[in-house]
Structure 1
Amino acid sequence: MTDPASPLCLGLDPGLGTLGYGLVRQKGDRLLAEEYGVVRTPPGEPLPDRLRMLYEELRRRTGAWHPSVVAVERLYFGKNVTTAEMVWQARGVVLLFATQLGVPLFEPKPSEVKLAVCGNGGAEKRQVQGMVQCLLGLSELPRPDDAADALAVAVAGLALASLERKEVLFP
Structure 2
Amino acid sequence: MRILGIDPGLRRTGFGIIDVQGMRLTYVGSGTIVVPTDQPLARRLKTILDNVREIVEAHQPTVSALEKVFVNTNPTSTLLLGQARGAAMCALADHNLDVHEYTALQIKKSVVGNGHAAKEQVQAMVQHLLKLSGLPSPDSADALACAICHAHVGPLTEKLKTSGALGSLGGTRLRGGRLI
Bin the TM-score by the shorter chain.
0.7 to 0.9
> Deviation at 1:50?
0.9
1:98 to 92, 96, 111: 92
Deviates more, 1:107-116 or 1:26-35: 26-35
TM-score where L is the length of structure 2: 0.83
Q: What one-letter code is carried by the residue in structure 2 that aligns with 1:162?
A: P
- Show the counterpart of 1:149: 142
Maintained 8 Å contact 2:52/2:92: no
Q: Which has the higher contact order (CA 8 A, sep 6+)?
A: 1
Max Rg structure: 2
Secondary structure of 1:107's counterpart equals strand
Q: Is the aligned partner of 1:159 residue 2:116?
A: no
After superposition, give the CA deviation of every residue in 1:24-81 in whole Å (9 maximum; x if it has no partner): 1113332111010011111110110111111112212331222121100001132122
Alignment size in residue pairs: 160
What is the CA RMSD across the aligned residues, in angstroms?
1.6
1:54 to 33, 39, 48: 48
Identity percentage over the alignment?
36
Equivalences for residues 29-108 of structure 1 within 5 A: 29-108=23-102
Secondary structure of 2:73's counterpart equals coil
> Deviation at 1:11?
0.2
The runs of 5 or more residues in structure 2 that have no matched partner are 161-180
- Show the counterpart of 2:170: none
Secondary structure of 2:31's counterpart equals strand
TM-score where L is the length of structure 1: 0.87
CA distance in 2, matches of 1:163, 1:68: 17
Q: Is the aligned partner of 1:11 residue 2:5?
A: yes
Provide runs of 4+ in structure 1 moved above 6 Å: none
CA distance in 1, matches of 2:40, 2:122: 34
The runs of 5 or more residues in structure 1 that have no matched partner are 1-6
